[in-house]
Every structure is written in structure tokens, then in C-alpha cells.
Structure 1
Amino acid sequence: MTTDAPRPPRVPPAWFVHTAWRVHRALYRLSGGRFLWTPADKRGWGALHLTTVGRRSGEERSVIIGYLDEGDDLVAIAMNGWDEGHPAWWLNLRANPEATVRISGGAPRPVRAREALGEERDRLWQRWVAVNGDLDGYAGRRSTVTPVVVLEPRG
């Protein structure tokens, strides 16, 4: 007896994912944000430079994450490279939701983070699924629910 259940999409090994993001961060620093990281465009998504305050250290921490435009808000998913648990940037934002984003080397923009819940989360998740049809399969590999994070302008 065979099953027709779809197989979850393959995910590269964690060491590869983390190395790729280190390379992307280096390219971002070297190019001042002009290389690789563009605003949301025909791909449907973009990448931004997020600066948070470390929940334990109190020091600035930076990361590059993908986002979607949602009016004046930016929407990210806290996926941790599809590893279990939440990424440090999301844990930092839960402790202190005020942060700064920079898109394509532009001026820093102050934001306040919050987790999308209920119908809003479902709607925003489906926007991400429209960009990446494998998203549900990737998320299904984790026991941790993947938060949808809304970065709202502040000030």
C-alpha cells in the first residue's frame, strides 16, 4: 500500500543556511546595502536590515530578513532558517519591540514590532505562501509555530 501524501520540501543543512546568511550580511556591509537587497519587487518580497536591542546584552543586534509590504507596514516571518525554535531577532523584539529597519541602503526607519494573530496572521501567512508555495511544507517540518511579525512605523 502506498500513500500519496506530499513529501515536505527539502531544506538545505543548517550549516549551509547559516553560512549563506553570513555571506549575505557581509555583502550587505561591503555594498552599503545596495547589493542583493532590494525593496519588495516583482519577486513579491524584499530584504531589509533589522536592528534590534539584545534582550540579554542590551546591545544593538542586526540581521537581514525577508519582508512583504503591507501598506505602511512591513511583514516578516520568524522562521529561524527552518530550525526549531525562534530566531534571536524575534526573541529580542518580543522583549523590546522598538527597532530600526533599513531597506536597500536607505535611511533608517524606526518601527515597532508585534505578532500578527488570528485572521490577520492567516491572511498575512497566505500572502507569504503566494510568494513561496513551499512555505507550508517548510513550516510543517518544525514543531514550533512560525510567528508572522508586523513592523509598524513609529514616530
Structure 2
Amino acid sequence: MLFGQEHVQRYQETDGTEGHDWQGTTVLLLTTTGRRSGKPYTTPLIYQLDGDTPVVVASKGGDPAHPDWYHNLQDDPEVQVQIRGDKFTARARTATPQEKPALWKKMAAAWPAYDEYQTKTDREIPVVVLERV
């Protein structure tokens, strides 16, 4: 099973032939700019499409803190996305309160553990929309 940096490396080497389909769901690569380091960080994340727009969840497994990548995109919302061989620049934004329920339902259908993660933390887990620029 692919995980972490090995997942990123195999995905990049194979244009997602290895790593896009993962544990019954789909994964993209999100590259953010470190808010302190200024360095690029690439994270494999479960995604679903809302129309043509990829959506991800900043769950961190229900941890009380947001994942680092989410803090990074709050500082700099311009990100790089790779879905299979398709690489593009996107502007990341947190789903609005109006958008979130439908997007959450879609994401939880793809990865049912998201509902469990939300019960494990007091923070509201953000849904992130990745709009192509």
C-alpha cells in the first residue's frame, strides 16, 4: 500500500497510474508553498470532482489541528494539482457554509471515515475547493 512520500513519488513517476486509485477511492497530489519555509510540499489527498472542480477534505484523521497543507494554502491559496497526468495551477478556497453540506456528503460517500473523523474533533473539518486558474 502506498503512503506518504512513497505515494507521491510513485504517483509522479507514473502520472498516477500507480497511486491515483487507492483503497477503493481516488487520490490527487496537492502541492502547497510552506508558510514558513517557502518550500513546496506535496501531499496525496483523497478527492472527488464537483463538476470539473476537484474537492478535498482537510481532515487529518480527526486531529484537533488542521493539517499543515491547509495552513499553507490559507497563507498562499495558489497551489499545484496533479490528477493522473493532468497537472495544473489552482486557487484553493474553503467551501462556503452553503456549499459544504453537499460537498461533505459527496466526500463522505467516497471515504466514509470522514464522518467518523468529524466526531473525533471539536474543530469543523474544512472542505477545500481547488479551482483551476
TM > 0.5 fold call: yes
Query: What is the distance in 2 between the residues matched to 1:45 and 1:117?
Result: 24
Correspondence 1:76-91 to 2 at 5 A: 76-91=56-71
Gaps of 5+ in 2: none
Report whether the alignment pairs 1:108 with 2:87: yes
The structure 2 residue matched to 1:129, chosen from 108, 121, 127, is 108
Contact 2:63-2:121 within 8 A present in 1 as well: yes
Q: Match of 2:124?
A: 145
The structure 2 residue matched to 1:36, chosen from 2, 14, 19, is 19
Query: What is the distance in 2 between the residues matched to 1:133 and 1:33?
Result: 23
**Cα distance per residue 1:107-140 (max 9 Å; x no partner):** 4211000000212011111112223344322211
**Cα distance per residue 1:75-115 (max 9 Å; x no partner):** 000011332211111111000000110112x1421100000
What is the TM-score normalised by the length of structure 2?
Answer: 0.85
Q: Match of 2:39?
A: 59
Displacement after TM superposition at 1:61 (Å): 1.1
Contact 1:45-1:69 within 8 A present in 2 as well: no
Query: What is the distance in 2 between the residues matched to 1:132 and 1:66?
Result: 8
Query: What is the distance in 2 between the residues matched to 1:82 and 1:26?
Result: 26
Contact 2:59-2:114 within 8 A present in 1 as well: no
Gaps of 5+ in 1: 1-18
Query: What is the distance in 2 between the residues matched to 1:122 and 1:148?
Result: 9
Contact 1:72-1:153 within 8 A present in 2 as well: no
Cα distance 1:95–1:141, how it changes in 2: closer, same or farther (>3 A)? same
Cα distance 1:51–1:134, how it changes in 2: closer, same or farther (>3 A)? closer
Segment of structure 1 superposing worse, 87-96 or 43-52:
43-52
